[in-house]
Structure 1
Amino acid sequence: MTRRPFVRRRPFATLGLLVLVILFGWIWQERVALWAFPDIISAYTAKEYCSCRYVMNNDAGYCQGYVKQWLPFSAFTDDPAARRVQVSGLGRSNSAQWLGERQGCRLNP
């Protein structure tokens, strides 16, 4: 009795294992970008909302629709008195503040 190689006996298992190895390799190569991704969601939303609201002087409802994304944020605070916006999403929090006519909005560290 001859034994067939594993690839011929289990082609779907071999294909699945190959896909997992390729996926793991891609994740390893992109690990820095994937680690930064959650921070991008809240930073983008805070900065763009601040610019829409306080630089372009649009109303709050329009600006909330403007920054709406497929991935939702968990907390959103707009402080019109200080012209500061704070957004939390995917476990990260960022804020942006209006500095003035010439400077516009800036992300706070």
Structure 2
Amino acid sequence: MTVLLRRRPIRSLLLILLLVILGWTWHERVALWAFPDIISAYTAKEYCSCRYVMHNDAEYCHAYVKQWLPVSGFTEDSTARRITVNGMGRSNSAVWIGEHEGCRLSP
């Protein structure tokens, strides 16, 4: 190993870095797999709360929930008070429950 480090130090360090990244990815695989759901769930829940709990207008709430990673679909059903958001291949909905309960993610 020390001979390899002396002959090709850059390549050896890149190999070690790659192994560390792969190990970290494997260790955090459950959290990384859940990440795409967070984008659409956060947007749906926060937009629902902004609109129906705080009674703000739609333009303000869209700006409030805007993220660095864009969402691919957004549907607001104002009669049912349901928000459905698609992002990173996942879809989540939030619905307004009541004045005291606020909004909740729904299946």
- Fold match by TM threshold 0.5: yes
Shift in Å, 1:30: 0.6
The code of the aligned residue for 2:14 comes to G
**Whole-Å separation in 1 of the counterparts to 2:105 and 2:60:** 21
**Structure 2: gaps spanning 5 or more residues:** none
Match of 1:67 in 2: 65
The code of the aligned residue for 1:74 comes to S
Shift in Å, 1:103: 1.3
**Whole-Å separation in 1 of the counterparts to 2:77 and 2:9:** 59
The reply on whether 1:102 has 2:105 as its aligned counterpart is no
CA deviation string 1:1-37 (max 9, x = no partner): xxx9121111110000000000001101111100000
CA deviation string 1:33-86 (max 9, x = no partner): 000000000000000000000010000000000000000000000111111100
Where 1:69 maps in the other structure, the secondary structure is coil
**Whole-Å separation in 2 of the counterparts to 1:101 and 1:17:** 56
Which of 19, 24, 46 is matched with 2:22 structurally?
A: 24
Greater gyration radius = 1
**Structure 1: gaps spanning 5 or more residues:** none
Match of 1:91 in 2: 89
The code of the aligned residue for 2:52 comes to Y
Match of 1:82 in 2: 80
Runs of 4+ in 1 over 3 A off after TM superposition: none
Q: CA RMSD, aligned part only?
A: 1.0
Match of 2:7 in 1: 9
**Whole-Å separation in 1 of the counterparts to 2:81 and 2:4:** 64
TM (norm. structure 1) is 0.94
Give % identity. Answer: 68
TM (norm. structure 2) is 0.96
Report the count of equivalent residues: 106
Match of 1:45 in 2: 43
